[in-house]
């Protein structure tokens, strides 16, 4: 598969995960616990596939430089920094959430 299609695949994986998370939320609000569990597990699996694909892509491509100038550059850097911090922080939160869910500790 050409590397040029991987960003589009990653975007699809992220969108799929978002749809599954919203679906899981709607299911639990409707007291459909089994469907909620399936949606949440599927979202976790799709997000894991995204992470593997994303890391593998950037291992092969290397650093991607932002070429924008002017006011958009500081905006981009601010979004990039916050995104990077949140991406690191979310991993232990997901692990803890899954641990509690598998123990049925809610």
What is the b/e burial string over 28-58, where b = at least 16 CB atoms within 10 angstroms of the residue's CB? eeeeeeeebeebbebbbebbeebeeebeeee
Residue 54 sits in the same domain as residue 81: no
pTM: 0.84
Q: Which residues contact 54 (CB under 8 A, 6 or more apart)?
A: 10
Token pair belonging to 72: 């958009």
| Residue 97 and residue 53 in one domain | no
CA-nearest of 99, 79, 15, 76 to 49 is 15
| Parts of the chain with a pLDDT under 50 | none
DSSP letter for 31, please: T
Do 73 and 59 reside in the same domain of the chain?
no
Q: Give me the pLDDT at residue 63, please.
A: 86
Residue 103's domain spans which residues?
66-106
Q: Is 1 found in the same domain as 46?
A: yes
Tell me what pLDDT residue 65 has. Answer: 87
Same domain assignment for residues 16 and 34: yes
């Amino acid at each position: 598969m050409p590397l040029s299609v991987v960003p589009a695949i990653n975007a699809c994986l992220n969108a799929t995960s978002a749809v599954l998370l919203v679906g899981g939320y709607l299911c639990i609000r409707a007291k459909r616990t089994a469907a909620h569990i399936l949606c949440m597990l599927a979202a976790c699996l799709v997000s894991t596939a995204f992470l593997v694909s994303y890391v593998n892509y950037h291992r092969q491509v290397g650093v991607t430089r932002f070429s924008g100038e002017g006011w958009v550059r500081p905006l981009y850097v601010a979004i990039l920094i916050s995104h990077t911090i949140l991406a690191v922080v979310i991993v232990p939160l997901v692990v803890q959430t899954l641990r509690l869910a598998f123990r049925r500790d809610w």
